[in-house]
């Protein structure tokens, strides 16, 4: 009985720590981009194997740039992604998440799952999600332009 209670308490602590870390780190990611300027969509370019809208923060183009997501990985150990909205899809345009082939997952789409549903409503989603074949504790936070339109997503994930 004591072992079961200890196990459950440890599990609860780890889940709470993961949730707090993911929330804190997605806020750090968001802050780094917002410091560059207002988010907006302008033009299209190839990301991975597909054409995707280009997301900017201020004058800084985010598609196919990896400095910020790599810095997040280095400082926190978290996986980080910026998605851009394209119709009803969200496409990875900056990420440190690797595909099973070992390349950055740019040009891949967000699965239509509970995180997708929350973001489409303008809500933050934090919880367990499978990303490109791996299980993560995540936080997805919508990126909104100056008029409040959802144009992308910030994603932070900690591998389970």
Residue 36 CB neighbour total at 10 angstroms: 14
Question: Can you give the pLDDT of all 160 residues of the chain as single tens digits?
Answer: 554 433 333 333 333 345 578 889 999 999 999 999 999 999 999 999 999 999 999 999 999 999 999 999 999 999 999 999 999 999 999 999 888 888 999 999 999 999 999 999 999 999 998 877 778 899 999 999 999 999 999 999 998 8
pLDDT the model gives residue 19: 58
Assess contact for 96 and 72: CB atoms under 8 A: yes
In three-state secondary structure terms, 69 is helix
Residue closest to 108 by CA, chosen among 128, 130, 126? 130
Q: What b/e string do you get for 47-76 counting C-beta neighbours within 10 Å, with b at 16 or more?
A: bbeeebbbbbbeeebbbbebebbeebbeeb
Assess contact for 155 and 80: CB atoms under 8 A: yes
pLDDT the model gives residue 31: 96
CA distances from 49 to 45, 56, 99, 109 (A): 10, 20, 13, 11
> Which pTM does this prediction carry?
0.86
Residue closest to 32 by CA, chosen among 77, 97, 79, 82? 82
- Helices H / strands E in the chain, number of each: 3, 8
pLDDT the model gives residue 98: 86
The domains located in the chain, with CATH, are: 2-159 (3.30.450.20)
């Amino acid at each position: 009985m004591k072992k079961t209670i200890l196990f459950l308490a440890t599990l609860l602590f780890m889940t709470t720590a993961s949730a707090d870390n993911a929330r804190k780190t997605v806020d750090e990611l968001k802050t780094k981009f917002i410091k560059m300027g207002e988010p907006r969509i302008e033009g299209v370019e190839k990301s991975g194997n597909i054409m995707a809208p280009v997301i900017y923060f201020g004058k800084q183009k985010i598609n196919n740039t990896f400095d910020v997501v790599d810095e997040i990985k280095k400082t926190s150990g978290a996986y980080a992604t910026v998605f851009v909205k394209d119709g009803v899809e969200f496409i990875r345009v900056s990420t440190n998440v690797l595909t099973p082939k070992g390349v950055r997952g740019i040009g891949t789409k967000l699965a239509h799952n509970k995180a997708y549903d929350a973001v489409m409503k303008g809500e933050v989603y934090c919880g367990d999600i499978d990303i490109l074949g791996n299980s993560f504790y995540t936080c997805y936070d919508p990126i909104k332009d100056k008029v409040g339109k959802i144009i992308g997503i910030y994603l932070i994930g900690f591998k389970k």
